[in-house]
């Protein structure tokens, strides 16, 4: 048996060779570059903590963080509330809504489309004087003059956030439905027999039991949201305009590295992003743990 | 009962409205793909398709061969899915079945790094690929996903719950080698979980934008997302009709594929979330 | 299942290996074929499709195949640099745009053309001065040549000029356009008649600099922002406030469509009474020489022959394509043949100029054709003498390697102000901060 166990190494060796080469080494290399002044040509020049002290006082990095959270916040709020309402609706045993498979599929569809295509599509649909969405809204009489959606910080952030929600609510809906179908039907039937109304069923049974899966949605959405790049990159041609309101953290990293050739500083930005991600993950895990303890 | 029906009617109306919201951007896209630039600019919104489809197609294809991007993306995504599935299964099997020194350490290391956002190593990755002379090839897109910690984690958890050591013992007594056992027993047992993860891997690779953007240079090697991005700065952008058509070409085949696979994909997502 | 999987896996690996080999093979091929006569292949990278026709000519002449790769200009420097540094998959010939040529001539990407066997120094007198100088680096070596010169003007619609201004004569229109005030006056007259002076506000950026063009960054790494630069904010705002443009941003589909006829203006229902219809027509575009053949001619059907070109309030120049040989190319002889044809072969360049209307920088040809030149698209106007005169006032010292990025940042700042989301002071301040952020070594005025 002992001998056989050495086969374990053989099974995991390919993974770790690739993992060390293409994941761990680049992370360490990036860490090294974050202490250097490096423009992609020649040798990196070691400059100690200069990049990090710049990062701490860099208002663009903070605004990139703010933008990222703003966009994610809108995205997550609408994504989760629509998905939750849908999930509650379809799980109501008194209503017996039909067509779950159909609706699930249609709502999920936007999630499957390449984000680059979605960005391009909304980039031109949301055009100002010649955008189809403005044309439609004006035809319907909802607005009287065209709105320059992508040229005002507020409407631009809301646009990107809502596009995100549009892309993801179907996905979240599926996950919540999966969570609900994991709840035994007995709970609902017992509640029905006990004469609990809809609201009581929702608050006492559905929501508490959905809590773990909602936290799962929260964490995955947050980690993904902190890395939002494709949409703002393609909608603003990488500039993060208007007024840098769509300049997200990864777009900032990309521009510093690949547009302005400040690889050293971009590496520090990457680590800044990493630290923020760690902090958020820890907070989320902690709060999840604490609330579990309270209930238990 | 009657009141219930009215409520249901309203609810269905709301659902249909949501369906329209989900679908109308695509419908605008398809309609506009068949109209000329000046029709879109002058006549605004309409539900009726135009007649300029072929004309738009000619303009588009003259500058950008999107089908090529499709083929490239498909090649990359299929390769990534196969490699990632196979090697993740191999690694998960190694972690689940054998007790070797340092196993726990390696497994925890993997889990910790699973939490690291993908962009952390981007700068170093780019530099590494450049030094290796692999820029503008598919290798940096296809090989690194062999090490997919999340897939390994998921498969290992799955394997722990479904596999009985007695099965392996029986095979060993029959004289099968460890690799053969993996192929004959481990892989088939893991297949449902592998398929679930394969869908995520495929979608992830298909949608990947930043990595091919940074790594690929020659337009004929562009994957679809990068090609879509390049469309914006190209001459195609002069003509809205062709632009919409370009987007439609990148979207419609996916929709058609989804029509056939939706049930499977949705159940995979459900499984992926609940097994957590 | 297992068999199928492992089979597909094996074939996949094989594919990967083949793909890998393919790369090696093709580069090995290029190496191997250097010097051999026929079946040669040349790769050319550029950011425009201008070279497509010359490449066809070259292919027919030499019986070789040229592979042209076109990369959109936003990505061009980013994509090219790593390839040029590494050499894998690098082209034999590649072009450089005005915006980044200053940077590139200082690198080792391009072959030194001042050396044997190219000896381009002998040709110095044959080119418009600034064009030749632009290809020269700080050590005096010439790295790239260009066939064109790119002074700018204002292209306008003759029929609209006739209707509103009473004349379509370029000299008279040019007289009215010769000051900013004159330009705005004409704009008001056009607006009263239901036309718009320019497609968008960006058009005035060239004239805002006036008679005092300065580089963005000087030799001490200091950002230079002149009064004239800042005037751009006010001119752009004035254009917007007075409603003199058609809201068709540069390079957008609406911008192109407006060349060929009315476009939907859609100012909104509140303002709809100002004109019976929602449609406006654009009077003029500020474009340089290449704007004629690669922008206007390719996008216009209805208004063909209805155009003329004249001067704006001040001379300017915009863009230009330089051509050089990759220093690591294995096929330099053939590459040089191509550069030669494109930049100083009389027969080819004469045909090219007569065919496209492109204004050349190669004097032996321009001297020969300029007096006779006329373009049907411009109703027979001689754009050649006009642009060659304008070329006299080009000062190439204003070009820096930062231009592409700083121009973008500046354009965003102006648009913030025009949209009314920032005051001029705030927008300028933000512009300084962004420049500092992108290039920490540059000193900016608000530090």
Mutate which of B46, B87, B187, B235 to disrupt the C interface (most C C-beta within 10 Å)? B235
On whether residue A104 sits in a domain, the answer given is yes
User: Does residue B197 sit at the A interface (CB-CB below 8 Å)?
Assistant: no
Task: Say yes or no to pLDDT of A295 above 60.
Answer: no
Residue B274: pLDDT band (50, 70, 90) is low
The boundaries of the domain holding residue A21 are: 1-26
Q: State the angle between helix axes of A115-125 and B2-33 in degrees (0 to 180), rounded to the nearest 10.
A: 90
**Inter-chain contact A146–C269, Cβ cutoff 8 Å?**
no
Tell me the mean pLDDT in the region A115-121: 91
CB contact under 8 A, B125 and A114: no
Tell me the pLDDT band of B225, cut-offs 50, 70 and 90: very high
> What's the CATH number where A75 sits?
1.10.3720.10
Find chain A residues with C-beta within 8 A of C421's C-beta: 152-153, 242-243
- Contact yes or no for C268 and A239 at CB 8 A: no
Inter-chain touch C268–A146, beta carbons under 8 Å:
yes
Q: Which residues contact B115 (CB under 8 A, 6 or more apart)?
A: A223, A277, A278, A281
Contacts C251 to B, Cβ<8 Å: 237-238
What's residue A268's pLDDT?
96
Beta strand spans in chain A (E) = 36-37, 45-46
Query: Is A250 found in the same domain as A114?
Result: yes
> Chain B contact for C2, CB < 8 A?
yes
Same domain, A229 and A158: yes
Q: Contact A145/C248, CB-based, under 8 Å?
A: no
pLDDT tens per residue, range B101-132: 889 999 998 888 887 877 889 999 998 998 88
Flag whether A44 is in a domain: no
**Count of domains for chain A:** 2
Going by pLDDT thresholds of 50, 70 and 90, the confidence category of residue A287 is: confident
Q: How confident is the model at residue C174 (pLDDT cuts 50, 70, 90)?
A: very high
CA of C254 to nearest chain B CA: how many angstroms apart?
7
Question: Per residue in C244-275, pLDDT tens?
Answer: 988 888 888 889 888 988 887 654 444 444 44
Within a 13 Å sphere around the CA of C33, how many CA atoms are in the beta-carbon half? 18
Residues A252 and A116 in one domain: yes
Q: Do A17 and A110 fall within a single domain? A: no
Note whether A250 and A106 are same-domain residues.
yes
Is the minimum CB–CB distance between A27 and chain B shorter than 8 Å?
yes
Residues A20 and A136 in one domain: no
Query: What pLDDT score was predicted for residue C36?
Result: 38
CA max distance for chain B: 78
* % pLDDT > 70, chain B: 98
C-alpha A114/C-alpha B152 separation (Å) is: 25
- Chains adjacent to B (≥3 CB pairs closer than 8 angstroms): A, C
Of the candidates C434, B235, C418, the residue with the CA atom closest to the CA atom of residue A240: C434
Domain annotation covers residue A169? yes
B138: pLDDT strictly greater than 90: yes
Tell me the pLDDT of chain A averaged across its residues. 87
Q: C3-30: per-residue pLDDT in tens? A: 444 444 444 444 443 343 344 333 333 3
Q: Is residue A47 part of a domain?
A: no
User: Which has the higher per-residue pLDDT, B68 or C25?
Assistant: B68
Q: Are residues A123 and A245 in the same domain?
A: yes
CB contact under 8 A, B115 and A254: no
* Percent of chain C with pLDDT strictly greater than 90: 41
B1-22 pLDDT per residue, tens: 577 788 888 999 999 999 998 8
A75 and A181 together in one domain: yes
- Find out whether C135 and C111 touch, Cβ atoms under 8 Å: no
Q: How many CB pairs under 8 A join A and C?
A: 75
ipTM: 0.86
Q: Same domain, yes or no, for A65 and A22?
A: no
**Is residue A105 within 8 Å of A95, Cβ to Cβ?**
no
Measured between CB atoms, which of B21, B98, B224 is closest to A8? B98
Mutation target among B119, B135, B253 for the A interface, most CBs of A within 10 A? B119
A162 and A249 fall within a common domain? yes
User: What pLDDT score does C32 carry?
Assistant: 36
Tens-digit pLDDT profile for residues C373-429: 888 899 989 988 899 888 888 887 888 888 888 988 998 899 889 888 889 999 999
> What pairs with residue A36 in β-bridges?
A46
Q: Tell me what the pLDDT averaged over chain B comes to.
A: 88
Whether residues A168 and A255 fall in one domain = yes
Q: For chain C, which chains pass the contact test of at least 3 CB pairs under 8 Å?
A: A, B
Tokens at residue A151, please? 């040229």
C272 in A contact zone (CB under 8 Å):
no
Higher per-residue pLDDT: C55 or C85: C55
Query: Given CB atoms, is C278 within the 8 Å cutoff of chain A?
Result: no
Tell me the three state secondary structure of residue C95.
strand
What's the 3-state SS for A172-204?
Answer: HHHHHHHHHHCCCHHHHHHHHHCCCCHHHHHHH
Which residues of A fall below an 8 Å CB-CB distance to C?
40-41, 54, 58-60, 127-130, 134-135, 138, 144-146, 148, 151-153, 237-239, 241-244, 255-256, 258-260, 262, 265
Q: Report pLDDT digits (tens) over A146-158.
A: 888 888 889 999 9
Q: What angle do CA C373, C379, C383 make, to 5 degrees?
A: 40
Q: Distance, in angstroms, between A294 CA and closest chain B CA?
A: 22
**Closest by alpha carbon to C72, among B135, A273, B234, A108?**
B234
What is the percent of chain B where pLDDT is above 90?
A: 39
Token pair 């007649």 in the structure block, residue: B51
Distance from CA of A3 to the nearest CA of B (A): 10
Same domain? For A110 and A5 the reply is no
What does R_g of chain B's alpha carbons equal in angstroms? Answer: 24
Of A116-120, A170-174, C3-7, C332-336, least confident by mean pLDDT is C3-7
Residue spans per domain, chain C: 37-149+320-369, 152-199+245-315, 201-227+402-447
- Verify whether the Cβ–Cβ distance A243 to C430 is below 8 Å: yes
**Could you give the domains of chain B?**
66-233 (1.10.3720.10)
- Please give the residue of chain B at the shortest CA–CA distance from C1: B188
CA distance A153 to chain C (A): 9
* Model confidence pLDDT, tens digit, residues C214-237: 899 998 999 999 988 898 999 999
Supply angle C-alpha A240, A241, A247, rounded to 5.
25
Pairwise CA distance, residues B142 & B221, whole Å: 14
CB C105 within 8 A of CB C136: yes
pLDDT in tens, A183-239: 777 887 888 888 888 888 888 888 888 888 888 888 889 888 999 999 999 998 888
Radius of gyration of chain A (CA): 24
Q: List the single best residue of A2, A8, A127 to mutate versus B (max B Cβ within 10 A).
A: A8
Check the CA dihedral C426-C427-C432-C434 and report its sign. Answer: positive
Which member of B42, B183, B233 has the closest CB to residue C264?
B42
Q: Which two tokens stand for residue B234?
A: 């190209």
Cα C436–chain centre separation: 26
Mean pLDDT for the stretch of residues C324-328: 92
- Select from A132, A234, A266 the Cβ nearest to the Cβ of B229: A234
Query: Is C35 a residue whose pLDDT tops 70?
Result: no
Please report residues of B whose CB lies closer than 8 A to that of A112.
203, 254-255, 258, 265
Considering only CB atoms, which chain C residues are within 8 Å of B191?
A: 1
Q: Is residue A234 part of a domain?
A: yes
Give me B238's structure tokens: 């002069």
**Residue A257 DSSP class:** I
Reported confidence tier of residue A291, pLDDT bands at 50, 70, 90: low
pLDDT of residue C86: 73
Give pLDDT, residue A127.
85
- Its CATH architecture, for the domain C37-149+320-369, is 3-Layer(aba) Sandwich (3.40)
| Closest-CA residue to C189 (of C177, C207, C201, C205) | C177
**Which residue of C437, C438, C447 to mutate against A (max A Cβ within 10 Å)?**
C437
What gap in Å lies between CA A150 and CA A158, rounded to an integer?
A: 9
């Amino acid at each position: 048996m002992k001998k056989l166990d050495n086969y374990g190494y053989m099974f995991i060796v390919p993974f770790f060779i690739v993992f060390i080469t293409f994941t761990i080494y680049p992370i360490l290399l990036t860490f090294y570059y974050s202490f250097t002044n490096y423009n992609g040509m020649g040798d990196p020049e070691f400059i100690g903590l200069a990049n990090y002290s710049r990062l701490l006082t860099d208002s663009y990095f903070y605004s990139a963080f703010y933008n990222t959270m703003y966009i994610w916040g809108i995205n997550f709020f609408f994504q989760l509330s629509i998905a939750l309402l849908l999930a509650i609706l379809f799980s109501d045993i008194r209503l017996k809504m039909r067509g779950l498979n159909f609706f699930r599929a249609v709502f999920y569809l936007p999630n499957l489309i390449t984000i680059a295509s979605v960005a391009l599509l909304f980039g031109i649909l949301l055009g100002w004087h010649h955008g189809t969405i403005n044309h439609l809204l004006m035809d319907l009489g909802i607005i009287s003059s065209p709105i320059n959606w992508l040229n005002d910080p507020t409407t631009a952030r809301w646009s990107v956030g809502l596009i995100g929600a549009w892309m993801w609510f179907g996905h979240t809906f599926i996950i919540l439905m999966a969570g609900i179908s994991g709840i035994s039907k007995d709970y609902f039937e017992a509640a029905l027999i006990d004469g609990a109304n809809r609201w009581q069923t929702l608050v006492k049974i559905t929501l508490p039991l959905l809590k773990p899966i909602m936290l799962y949605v929260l964490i995955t959405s947050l980690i993904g949201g902190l890395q939002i790049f494709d949409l703002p990159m393609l909608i603003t041609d990488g500039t993060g305009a208007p007024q840098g309101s769509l300049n997200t953290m990864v777009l900032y990293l990309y521009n510093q590295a690949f547009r302005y050739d400040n690889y050293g500083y971009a590496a520090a930005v990457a680590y800044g992003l990493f630290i923020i991600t760690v902090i958020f993950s820890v907070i989320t895990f902690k709060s999840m743990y604490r609330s579990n303890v309270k209930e238990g | 009962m009657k009141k219930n029906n009215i409520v249901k009617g309203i609810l269905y109306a709301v659902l249909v409205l949501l369906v329209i919201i989900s679908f109308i951007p695509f419908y605008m896209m398809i309609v506009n793909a068949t109209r000329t630039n000046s029709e879109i600019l002058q006549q605004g919104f309409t539900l009726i398709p135009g007649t300029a489809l072929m004309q738009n197609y000619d303009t588009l294809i003259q500058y950008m061969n999107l089908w090529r991007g499709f083929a490239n993306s498909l090649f990359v995504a299929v390769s990534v899915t196969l490699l990632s599935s196979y090697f993740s299964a191999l690694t998960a099997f190694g972690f689940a079945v054998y007790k070797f020194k340092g196993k726990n350490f390696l497994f925890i290391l993997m889990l910790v790094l699973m939490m690291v956002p993908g962009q952390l190593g981007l700068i170093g990755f780019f530099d590494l690929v450049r030094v290796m002379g692999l820029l503008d090839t598919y290798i940096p897109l296809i090989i690194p996903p062999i090490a997919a910690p999340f897939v390994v984690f998921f498969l290992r958890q799955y394997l722990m719950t479904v596999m009985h050591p007695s099965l392996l013992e029986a095979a060993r007594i029959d004289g099968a080698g460890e690799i053969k056992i993996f192929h004959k027993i481990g892989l088939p047992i893991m297949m449902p979980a592998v398929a679930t993860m394969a869908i995520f891997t495929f979608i992830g690779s298909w949608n990947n934008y930043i990595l091919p953007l940074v790594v690929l240079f020659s337009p004929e090697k562009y994957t679809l997302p990068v090609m879509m991005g390049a469309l914006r700065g190209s001459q195609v952008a002069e003509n809205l009709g062709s632009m919409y058509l370009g987007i439609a070409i990148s979207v419609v085949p996916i929709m058609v594929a989804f029509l056939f696979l939706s049930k499977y994909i949705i159940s995979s997502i459900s499984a992926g979330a609940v097994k957590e | 299942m297992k068999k199928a999987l492992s089979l597909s896996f094996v074939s996949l690996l094989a594919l990967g290996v083949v793909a890998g080999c393919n790369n090696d093979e093709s580069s090995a091929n290029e190496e191997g074929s250097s010097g051999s006569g026929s079946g040669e292949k040349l790769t050319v990278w550029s950011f425009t499709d201008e070279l497509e026709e010359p490449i066809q000519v070259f292919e027919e002449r030499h019986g070789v195949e040229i592979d042209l790769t076109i990369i959109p200009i936003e990505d061009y420097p980013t994509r090219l640099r790593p390839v040029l540094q590494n050499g894998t998959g690098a082209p034999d010939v590649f072009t450089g745009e005005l915006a980044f040529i200053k940077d590139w001539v200082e690198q080792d990407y391009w072959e030194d053309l001042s050396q044997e066997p190219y000896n381009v120094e002998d040709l110095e007198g044959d080119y418009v001065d600034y064009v030749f100088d632009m290809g020269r680096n700080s050590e005096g070596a010439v790295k790239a040549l260009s066939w064109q010169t790119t002074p700018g003007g204002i292209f306008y619609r003759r029929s609209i000029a006739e209707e509103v201004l009473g004349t379509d004569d370029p000299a008279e229109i040019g007289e009215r356009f010769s000051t900013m005030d004159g330009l705005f006056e004409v704009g008001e007259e056009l607006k009263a008649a239901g036309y718009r002076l320019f497609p968008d506000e960006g058009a005035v950026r060239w004239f805002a600099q006036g008679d005092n063009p300065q580089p963005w960054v000087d030799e001490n790494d200091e950002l230079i922002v002149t009064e004239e630069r800042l005037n751009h904010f006010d001119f752009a705002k004035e254009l917007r406030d007075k409603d003199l443009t058609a809201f068709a941003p540069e390079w957008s589909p609406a911008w192109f469509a407006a060349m060929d006829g009315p476009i939907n203006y859609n100012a909104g229902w509140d303002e709809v009474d100002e004109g019976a219809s929602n449609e406006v027509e654009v009077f003029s575009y500020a474009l340089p020489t290449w704007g004629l053949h690669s922008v206007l001619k390719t996008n216009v059907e209805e208004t063909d022959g209805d155009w003329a070109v004249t001067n704006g309030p001040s001379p300017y120049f915009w863009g230009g394509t330089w051509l050089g040989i990759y220093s690591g190319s294995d096929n330099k002889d053939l590459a040089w043949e191509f550069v030669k044809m494109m930049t100083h072969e009389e027969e080819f360049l004469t045909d090219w100029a007569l065919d496209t209307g492109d204004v050349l920088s190669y004097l032996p040809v321009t001297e020969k054709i300029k007096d006779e030149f006329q373009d049907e698209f411009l109703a027979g106007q001689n754009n050649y003498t006009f642009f060659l005169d304008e070329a006299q006032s080009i000062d190439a010292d204003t070009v820096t390697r930062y231009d592409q990025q700083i121009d973008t940042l500046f354009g965003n700042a102006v648009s913030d102000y025009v949209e009314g989301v920032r005051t001029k002071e705030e927008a300028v301040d933000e512009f300084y901060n962004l420049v500092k952020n992108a290039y920490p070594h540059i000193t900016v005025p608000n530090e």
